[in-house]
């Protein structure tokens, strides 16, 4: 029996978020430049998006570039931007054909103009997709997102657009870059590290975490399905007791 056949289709995570870690270490272990790891990482993205589509996952968010990554060497940052534009140009037709819809979260204003243009074109081209929604977290960090949201809320309160007494969790979530996207059910991190690195801190309040030693370039269909099966073996209580969960079923 294949791994996908072991997945309970009635208990799928609606939203999977992934911290794609290990490109550089994958390359170093093979005596290659870091850029080679990033290029192989793009191939892993293609495999995982296809696997998520086959498993009928609704949302897949990939942590592609953090605000902290801007502090990396200039040559590496430019290489990542160029690789992103190349990958988007290469894959847009397939994404559209497979019903994949692209969205982005993060401070897009910090991206180079040519990269932003390529992204915007891909978003337009895939806007009618009805399959998996692929969310690319670019120039993103949760602290940036939360402080930006707080600032916008404060400005709207001052302008009288938002009554101060109306601020609750739902209101706050509406000011985040992820508004309209369900919170992740499952957060996967590759590469052996066990932290979430400033990623979706608000949204992952009740996500199940899955850490794997596999470097991102080696992550693929079976690895994704193993993570989903692991997720399905857990009891999600959301603050309730096991007895309450059982009685509600």
Q: 206 in a domain, yes or no?
A: yes
- Judge if pTM exceeds 0.75: yes
Please tell me whether residue 204 adopts helix, strand or coil conformation: coil
For the domain that residue 191 is a member of, what is the CATH number?
Answer: 3.40.1180.10
23 is in an annotated binding site: yes
For residue 247, tell me if it sits in a domain: no
Do residues 16 and 61 make contact, with C-beta atoms less than 8 angstroms apart? Answer: yes
Within-domain flag for 2: no
Q: Which residues are catalytic?
A: 21, 69
Count of domains for the chain = 1
| pLDDT given for residue 173 in this prediction | 97
Is 101 annotated among the ligand-binding residues?
no
List the domain range (segments joined by +) for residue 223: 11-141+183-234
Q: Is residue 176 part of a domain?
A: no
Q: Is 26 labelled as part of a ligand binding site?
A: yes
In the chain, the N- to C-terminal Cα span, in Å, equals 28
Does some domain include residue 86? yes
DSSP element (H, E) containing 249: none
- Cα separation, 192 vs 172, in Å, equals 33
34 is in an annotated binding site: yes
Q: Is 46 among the domain residues?
A: yes
**Average pLDDT, consecutive stretches of 10 residues, N- to C-terminus, the chain (249 residues):** 93 97 96 94 96 97 94 90 89 94 94 92 95 96 97 97 94 96 98 97 97 98 98 79 62
Contact indicator for 190, 20 with CB cutoff of 8 Å = yes
Distance CA(52)–CA(44), nearest Å, equals: 12
Q: Number of H helices and number of E strands within the chain? A: 8, 6
Do 231 and 209 touch, CB atoms closer than 8 A? no
How many Å apart are CA 81 and CA 104, to the nearest integer? Answer: 15
195 in a known ligand binding site? yes
């Amino acid at each position: 029996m294949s791994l996908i056949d072991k997945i309970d289709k009635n208990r799928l995570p609606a939203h999977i978020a992934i911290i794609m870690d290990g490109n550089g270490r994958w390359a170093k272990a093979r005596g290659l430049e870091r850029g080679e790891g990033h290029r192989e990482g793009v191939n892993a993205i293609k495999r995982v998006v296809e696997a998520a589509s086959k498993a009928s996952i609704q949302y897949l968010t990939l942590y592609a570039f953090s605000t902290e990554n801007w502090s990396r060497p200039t040559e590496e940052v430019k290489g990542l931007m160029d690789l992103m534009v190349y990958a988007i140009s290469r894959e847009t037709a397939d994404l559209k054909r497979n019903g994949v819809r692209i969205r982005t979260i993060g401070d897009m204003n910090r991206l180079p103009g040519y990269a932003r243009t390529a992204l915007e074109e891909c978003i337009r081209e895939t806007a009618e997709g009805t399959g998996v929604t692929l969310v690319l977290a670019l120039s993103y960090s949760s602290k940036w997102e939360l402080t930006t949201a707080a600032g916008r809320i404060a400005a709207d309160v001052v302008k009288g657009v938002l009554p101060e007494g109306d601020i609750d969790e739902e209101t706050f979530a509406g000011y985040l870059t992820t508004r309209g996207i369900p919170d992740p059910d499952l957060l996967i991190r590759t590469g052996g590290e066990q932290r979430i690195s400033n990623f979706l801190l608000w949204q992952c309040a009740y996500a199940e975490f899955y850490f794997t030693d596999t470097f991102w370039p080696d992550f693929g269909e079976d690895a994704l399905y193993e993570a989903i099966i692991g997720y399905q073996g857990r009891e999600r209580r959301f603050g309730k007791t096991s007895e309450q969960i059982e009685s509600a079923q």
